[in-house]
Chains A and B, each alone.
Chain A
Amino acid sequence: MINAVLVFNNNGQPRLTKFYTTLDTQTQQSLIAQIYHLVSQRPSSACNFLPLPPLLSQGAASSTGPSDAPTQITYRTYATLSFIMISTSTESPLALIDLIQVFVEALDRMFENVCELDLIFGYETMHAVLSEMIVGGVVVETNIEKIVAGVRSQEGTSGKKKAVQAASASLGRGALPGLGAWR
């Protein structure tokens, strides 16, 4: 299962934290800091898998068999933001990379040319998108159309979103070349 989904920017400031197991706020923060430390050290050419940070490596079983302990950390960086998924061995590492891609594409549909600012101001929507994809650490939907439709059905009347979209559009951002890299 997926144990946590994190989004933070290049400076390590969290933009989304979702832990599928309860964890006190302080530990959450230090875990984010440790993972940020790992991500920030990696060159862009490196692979998308992180070694376990000290907080997680303590309880990890050494055997290759499945267990409840998280053993994989997959990350993917888009422009200023890094998306991280912490999962157990029941998830496929390559599929998780694709899942991050689905998440970002769904966000892109919601915000139309999504950028970090959109996610800061629309972080409620970001949570809604995530909860259409993952419930309790288990993936429930990977189809972008269905994810977007699910969120739209919740936020039909919200005017806030449009305001954010209008404002962010005026910042003059480019397209999303990274999204084309669909495997």
Chain B
Amino acid sequence: MLRAVATKLTDPSRWPRFEKSLYDLIKGLRTHKGGEDEYVQSCLRECKAEIKSQDMDKKATALLKLIYLEMFGYDMSWASFHVLEVMSSSKYLQKRVGYLGAVQSFRPDTEVLMLATNMLKKDIVSPNIPALSLPLASLPHIITPSLAMSLLPDILSRLSHSSPVVRKKSIVCLYRLALVYPEALKLGWPKIQDRLMDDQEDSSVTTAAINVVCELGWRRPHDFLPLAPRFFELLVDSGNNWMAIKIIKLFATLTPLEPRLTRKLLRPLVNIIQTTSAMSLLYECINGIIQGGILDGEDNLQERDDVATLCVGKLRGMIVIDSDPNLKYVALLALNRIVTTHPTLVSMQQDVIMDCLDDPDISIRLQALELAAGMVTSETLQVVVERLLDQLRLATLSSPGNAPELEIGSSVHPETEDPEESKTSEVSTSTAVALPNDYRSEVVHRILDICSQNNYSEVVDFEWYVNILVQLIRLLPPSEGDEYWNQNSPSQDAAALSKSSTAFRIGSEIRNVAVRVRGVRLEATRAAESLLLVDNRSTFFPAGSNVGNDVLGPISWVAGEYANDLLSPSRTLQSLIDLSNVTLPARTLQLFLQAIPKVFVRVNQDAGLGMTWKTETSLLLARVVEFLEALAAHPDLDVQERAIEFLEVLRLSAEALHSDVQEMPSLLASVLPSLFMGLELNPVAFSAQKKVVLPATLHLDVAFNDDLQTLFHTLDNSQLEASQRGSLQDFYYIPDLISPPAKSFPGIASIEMHPDSSYQNVLRGPTESPGTMERRKLERKERYKDDPFYIASLDSHSGTSTPVFGNEANADVLDIDAIPIVDLKLDSGQPDRVERDVSNPRQGRYKKMEVAADETFGSEEIPSRDYLVPGQVGGSAVAKRSLLQVDSSGLGHLSMASNDGPGAISAEDEGDVEMKKAMRNVEQMRLRMQRASERIELDGIPTEGTLIKKKKGKKKRASSSTQEVTLGDGSSQPEEAKKKKRKEKKEKKEKTQKEPRTDPEELAGKPSGSLA
């Protein structure tokens, strides 16, 4: 059968050549299953030869083949000149191929575009309408500022062409011209306005004009206010739903500026809502009412509430009655917008929304989830969270019987219970068994969001919350994130990813609750303890997942900090120092290491009471020391340092214990505990550190020594007296290259020359006897006697050997306690500790819980938790430009109203001023964000400079290199952007090369089926 098709398709009268036609190419691709790439490469070689041919037919065919291959990712940028040649063909169909080639392959850096200006000018004024349409449809893809400038007059004249086809396309083309060349709009707007106001105009042209205005509308709403009456007329009279949708969208941006519009619009909108049968129009009306802020105002309370009720009622209908998932989705989308202004109205729809939480469609579930988070109150919180937990439990069990789905069909809307309905619900049950992992972690994130919002204001029962957190750990999806995305975004920082992982967040929540809510601290600590125990780990954390690693860190901190609340400190300590812990990731171990001595101190307090305290304690000490020794050579420096610090302290304690003491040595009894006593830790706001005012006496920018050159000079001549102080100065101030004098100081040299002094070697033998240790200690003391970086032990406190702290002259300057910045004085300043009393009448049955708020200075700011919630990564992400984004910001600066007298109203000028102010603010914001993200790059560049730079970069990207040539400033293109692009390309190259080509199955004669 297939052969028959093939012979029919190869129309010999049309392709009587030896070269392959496009049809031959496609056919060839299908016959070369497996070896497509080779085949394509040979085709590309042929095309390269054919496209140079003098025969225009041959050239166009070759180009057509190239365009086809480009669709699969084969580069055709090398052919751009030939594209121009084909574009200039006199035959329409060849010309069309040429224009298609330009649209598909020209990029802003395509240089030949400059040569096309005259040809484009000629085509735009062509008498043949299809030929004239080609440049109009293609220009938006290839336009550059310089091209726009030279083509503008021709396009403007097309706006009054006799054919509506040309007029509608010209309007849109002009809009795209204006995006790169804002002046175009200034000249073109009066003409577009004429089209818009003309009652006799073809409806297609009016619609196109409305579409363009809708695109422009949100950028400069003030300019379109004068046209509001005409829009209103079109909305009421036209009867064209496509246009009505756009007009409503446009009004949504206009109404916030003109309150009178609201009153006028309300009636027709309500009328449409009540009468229309087109769901898209109904939805957009509701959406327009929400987005236009019609529900937000204060006056006419009754009317507003009626409208809100009507909208919510209609949305409810979209969810309940129609089984169309699209309507469900958009209704939830709209409810999500209403919930901020009318939370009570929305929460009345709780029943249907909750059912959507169990919808088989993940998109709908996610919307419902967001909505649930928005409308939750302290009464509904537990119900919502329990429901979500059930969902997770089901997913974890992955049981085939999906109870919630069945509920939808049976209990909620029995009125739609017809055979078809039950059939679809059956289908959905079978498809919704497995929940994707990213959805499950999204649910966990949402649960945490819901509970922790406003500093836990909605949580009434914290014991319940701690319990939920522990349950969540069991329900976490086995692997974090979707593998597929991780492969594709190598730029994502691994550390940042783990920081935001759900497991880490749960651990942090347990810690937060323990710190903030004193009343539930005991329970939180006990929960942390039970999770920590080695015996429990296998049940809580499934093997092969990294869930445990992320949770254990924060909870070990809780166990350490609140060791007094532990049920069994000794068991906790055993779990903390279990040797299997050594393989945990460094960030977890760091927190473990801090917890170990704290719990040890706690265990010790108990031990002091018994008779066998001495053997018990020394045994315990030996085991802790053994664990610490295992970490003393850890590759992570932080872990290593902490391990060694505590190791040394504990070894000293062990020594103190070994001598014949009858009581607990003071080192163990008081010194060690005192390390961790003191003020209780309170939560500190994320931004508090930034608000600490630098003390007046601290000059960070003043040079220590203005006369550095002379200093170097004197040092080079070795004229400086070799005092201890001098040696220190040498070390800090003279870079390695020019510091030969350092060699003359034995103290510093010894660090380099005695490899024995590294941390690892100190701990070389865990089996060392106390005698050798003592000897080594003496040796060490001797060796470090003159080393300024070691503080000698107390007995050798003899002036000269401790240059930093021993020297009286330095003591004033270097006494760390005297440096004022250390003292934050959190308690003395403003009343910065805000304690919220969460109790109110309806919560009477629960214990009163105080939730400590973040401590901070001065005014309250919105606590930024972006660093924990991946979904809201605000700051840096906003600064980035989206991939497919068209930059229309240029239009924001343009005033179109300057030359049309009657339309301009006085409010407009105010609006312009406001707009400018807003724009300035936006610029500043952008600058700030940009600076944050490119701190290193911007070092030392003044603010104004960076702003301009950014603009240039943007423009460059949008424009073509033609501009580079004409303006001669091509070098200003940001190097970084180039590099990034190159890198991206490299990464994707491999991938795309594997991808392309046709479907082997189709060739194999499988009926491809009709579009149905």
User: How far in angstroms is the closest Cβ of chain A from B986?
Assistant: 9
Is chain A's interface secondary structure helix, strand, loop, or mixed overall? mixed
CB closest chain-A residue, reference B142: A22
Is chain B's interface secondary structure helix, strand, loop, or mixed overall? helix
User: How far in angstroms is the closest Cβ of chain A from B299?
Assistant: 24
Known: A54-B489, A135-B169, A153-B130. A45 touches B361 (CB 8 A): yes
Known: A13-B997, A29-B73. A137 touches B140 (CB 8 A): yes
User: How far in angstroms is the closest Cβ of chain A from B220?
Assistant: 12
Say yes or no: B1010 contacts A115, CB within 8 Å: yes
Complex Cα gap A167–B11 (Å):
11
Say yes or no: B883 contacts A171, CB within 8 Å: no
Say yes or no: B883 contacts A31, CB within 8 Å: yes
Q: What residues of chain B lie closer than 8 Å to A34, measured between beta carbons?
A: 488
Complex Cα gap A69–B889 (Å):
12
Complex Cα gap A164–B5 (Å):
9
CB closest chain-B residue, reference A26: B988
Known: A14-B71, A47-B361, A61-B878. A142 touches B985 (CB 8 A): no
Say yes or no: A138 contacts B991, CB within 8 Å: no
User: How far in angstroms is the closest Cβ of chain B from A124?
Assistant: 7
User: How far in angstroms is the closest Cβ of chain A from B254?
Assistant: 12
As a 0/1 sequence over residues 92 to 132 of chain B, the CB contacts with chain A under 8 angstroms (1 = contact) are: 11001100100110111000000000000000000001100
Known: A30-B992, A47-B328. A14 touches B72 (CB 8 A): yes
Cβ contact of A115, chosen from B133, B361, B1008, cutoff 8 A: B1008
CB closest chain-B residue, reference A143: B204
User: How far in angstroms is the closest Cβ of chain A from B292?
Assistant: 12
Complex Cα gap A171–B5 (Å):
8
* Interface residues in A51-100 (C-beta closer than 8 Å to B): 51, 54-56, 58-62, 64-66, 68-70, 78-81, 86, 90, 92-95, 97-98
Any A CB within 8 A of the CB of B761: no
A-B contact count (CB 8 A): 317
Cβ contact of B8, chosen from A138, A141, A170, cutoff 8 A: A170
Complex Cα gap A51–B999 (Å):
27
Any A CB within 8 A of the CB of B565: no
User: How far in angstroms is the closest Cβ of chain B from A49?
Assistant: 6
CB closest chain-B residue, reference A71: B882
CB closest chain-A residue, reference B329: A47
Q: What residues of chain A lie closer than 8 Å to B1008, measured between beta carbons?
A: 79-80, 115-117, 171, 173
Complex Cα gap A136–B173 (Å):
7
User: How far in angstroms is the closest Cβ of chain B from A12?
Assistant: 8
User: How far in angstroms is the closest Cβ of chain B from A37?
Assistant: 6
Say yes or no: A59 contacts B880, CB within 8 Å: yes
Any B CB within 8 A of the CB of A144: no
As a 0/1 sequence over residues 129 to 157 of chain A, the CB contacts with chain B under 8 angstroms (1 = contact) are: 00100011111111100100010011101
Say yes or no: A174 contacts B1012, CB within 8 Å: yes
Q: What residues of chain B lie closer than 8 Å to A150, measured between beta carbons?
A: 133, 165
CB closest chain-B residue, reference A174: B1010
Complex Cα gap A61–B218 (Å):
15
* Interface residues in A101-138 (C-beta closer than 8 Å to B): 104, 107-108, 113-117, 120-121, 123-124, 127-128, 131, 135-138
Known: A43-B360, A136-B140, A160-B14. A98 touches B1009 (CB 8 A): no
Cβ contact of B249, chosen from A92, A114, A120, A175, cutoff 8 A: A92
CB closest chain-A residue, reference B70: A25
CB closest chain-A residue, reference B11: A163
Known: A56-B884, A64-B291. A108 touches B1011 (CB 8 A): yes
Cβ contact of A120, chosen from B26, B108, B283, cutoff 8 A: B26
Q: What residues of chain B lie closer than 8 Å to A48, measured between beta carbons?
A: 325-326
Say yes or no: B168 contacts A23, CB within 8 Å: no
Residue among B337, B366, B882, B981 with the highest chain A CB neighbour number at 10 A? B882
* Interface residues in B268-309 (C-beta closer than 8 Å to A): 278-280, 283-284, 287, 291
Any A CB within 8 A of the CB of B137: yes
Any A CB within 8 A of the CB of B714: no
Identify 13 residue pairs between A and B in the complex whose beta-carbon atoms are under 8 Å apart, listed by A's number.
Answer: A3-B884, A26-B989, A27-B883, A30-B988, A30-B991, A30-B992, A46-B362, A51-B363, A58-B883, A136-B137, A143-B204, A154-B130, A183-B279
